[in-house]
Structure 1
Amino acid sequence: MSKNTVKLRSTMLGEGRPKMAVPITGTTESELVKQATKAREAGADLIEWRIDYFEGVQDEAQLTKVGDSLREALGETALLVTFRTMSEGGELELSDDDYFEICKKVLAGNYADALDVERYHDETKVKAVVEAAHANGVKVVMSNHHFHETPDEADIVARLTSMAEFGADVPKIAVMPTSVDDVLTLLTATHEANEKLDQPIITMSMGDLGKVSRLSGEVFGSCLTFATVGAASAPGQISLAHLKNELEDLKLS
């Protein structure tokens, strides 16, 4: 099956080795620009701005000002903007209405190359924000996170498939393993979904047990892996300097 690819500036998701994303989690503009510059210089393919950490996240003017500063600092490095809700591992408790309002503010600012949209909110609102993103030329990474368990293989595939049906450019799921079997479940589901869907997908098994899933995307079918330059934003993330070499060692000839 011919897979779609997703182009985010100079980064192509869905072909070759998994691309490397570095989350930035600063609370202020100066921290964020410093983190973004450091990650770009270290060779990140994509920067994920975790706006749930940013102290001015609910102020559209502040959000846009920092977005513009990051856009300038990053040059041709792509920017994924993510508000991670507390129930999915984020920093700030918001109502659904406030969550979607922030998504709209990000799109209005015109600095994001991609927007993370959590799948399991009001379905009408999810579909509306996907349409708005696409109308603004912004790609959608649709996500779901399980910090305490690994759903079964059929459930993982069904969730990724549902995201594709909702218009996601890149479906994403992250799960927490409690056993080696859980890691195998995630990897098997990744392979199955990658074979089934036209879209490139992102999957990971978190924590130390799941670290292998962050390295093996080219084999099993995950197009992006998250690394650290400084603080981690999720358990099990590997430093970018190490990850680069490990992905190169594991590349398919």
Structure 2
Amino acid sequence: MISQTKIAIPILQEKEEDIIKTAQDFIKKGADLLELRIDGIANVNSDMVKKIIDSINFPVIATNRSKKEGGFFLGSEKERINILKSCCDLKNVEYIDIELQTDPCLRNFLIDKCREANIKTIISFHDFEKTPSVDYLLKIVNEQKELGDVAKIAVMPTNLEDTINVLAIMSHCDNTIAISMGEIGSYTRVMASKFNAPFTFATGGDVTAPGQIDIETMKLLLNMDLMDHDDFLDDI
């Protein structure tokens, strides 16, 4: 059975020409979506982002990650959100990633702009130090889904049990991407398809997050009949 979960590959490059070349390579390798990490672009501005996305001419997730969420954007929060807002005018932008912990006024402003433009939103939450409890993560996901279209959590495990907690979230929540980072959590990226996650993340070369799997391996694993999610984690 062919997996319905799409594969997104992040692009984290500083220069416009490198981004476009990398995008072409990832498209050839079979990416379904490209996540443009705007925060990685040197001296970035809205016009530059528009030019890059138009040149790529492929479905894009626009992400401009703040430093407190593990990103590299150096400008103000208003500047960061305004660059994302400018992506609402671009035909190839399918999703805009908005961090849950963004200032509520700026966050809600951007969500409204996305809705007006019929662009889907990913409301994301990251914890690079630990994996919160299942109850806490469920609370986060419920809040995310009240705000946007897709909930995304990415958390750091300290043991295997933490990764099971992440699977529990996917088991109970639709339209949710739940990632356990690091090597011991890498398998959760593959299990995303077994819980009908809209997409998962792989790498086409450069690793932008701990535990990422290369796209060639991911495509093979997503289409293996590993197990049926209806028979898995029933008691979690």
Q: What TM-score results when the alignment is normalised by the length of structure 2?
A: 0.90
Q: 1:178: which partner in 2?
A: 158
Assess if the C-alpha contact under 8 Å between 1:56 and 1:63 holds in 2.
Answer: no
Assess if the C-alpha contact under 8 Å between 2:3 and 2:222 holds in 1.
Answer: no
* Cα separation, 1, equivalents of 2:136 and 2:76: 26
User: RMSD value over aligned CA atoms?
Assistant: 1.8
Q: Does 1:67 align with 2:53?
A: yes
Q: 1:142: which partner in 2?
A: 123
* Cα separation, 2, equivalents of 1:62 and 1:56: 9
* Cα separation, 2, equivalents of 1:239 and 1:18: 16
Q: Which runs of 4+ in 1 moved over 3 A?
A: 108-111, 250-253
The CA deviation at 1:95 is 2.8
The CA deviation at 1:221 is 4.4
Q: Name the SS for the 1:22 alignment partner.
A: strand
Assess if the C-alpha contact under 8 Å between 1:191 and 1:221 holds in 2.
Answer: no
1:176 partner amino acid: M
Counterparts of residues 112-123 of structure 1 (less than 5 Å): 112-123=93-104
* Cα separation, 2, equivalents of 1:55 and 1:93: 10
Q: Does 1:207 align with 2:182?
A: yes
Q: Which runs of 5+ in 2 are unaligned?
A: 229-236
Q: 1:102: which partner in 2?
A: 83
The CA deviation at 1:52 is 0.5
Assess if the C-alpha contact under 8 Å between 1:141 and 1:169 holds in 2.
Answer: yes
CA distances 1:108-137 after superposition (whole Å, capped 9, x unpaired):
445422111111112232122111011112
Q: Does 1:31 align with 2:12?
A: no
Equivalent residues, number: 227
* Cα separation, 2, equivalents of 1:152 and 1:250: 29
The CA deviation at 1:224 is 1.5
Q: Name the SS for the 2:168 alignment partner.
A: helix
* Cα separation, 1, equivalents of 2:149 and 2:162: 26
* Cα separation, 1, equivalents of 2:226 and 2:114: 33
Q: 1:52: which partner in 2?
A: 39
Q: 1:187: which partner in 2?
A: 167
* Distance verdict in 2 for CA 1:109–1:220, change over 3 Å: closer
Assess if the C-alpha contact under 8 Å between 1:146 and 1:175 holds in 2.
Answer: yes
Q: What TM-score results when the alignment is normalised by the length of structure 1?
A: 0.84
Assess if the C-alpha contact under 8 Å between 1:188 and 1:220 holds in 2.
Answer: no
* Cα separation, 2, equivalents of 1:20 and 1:32: 18
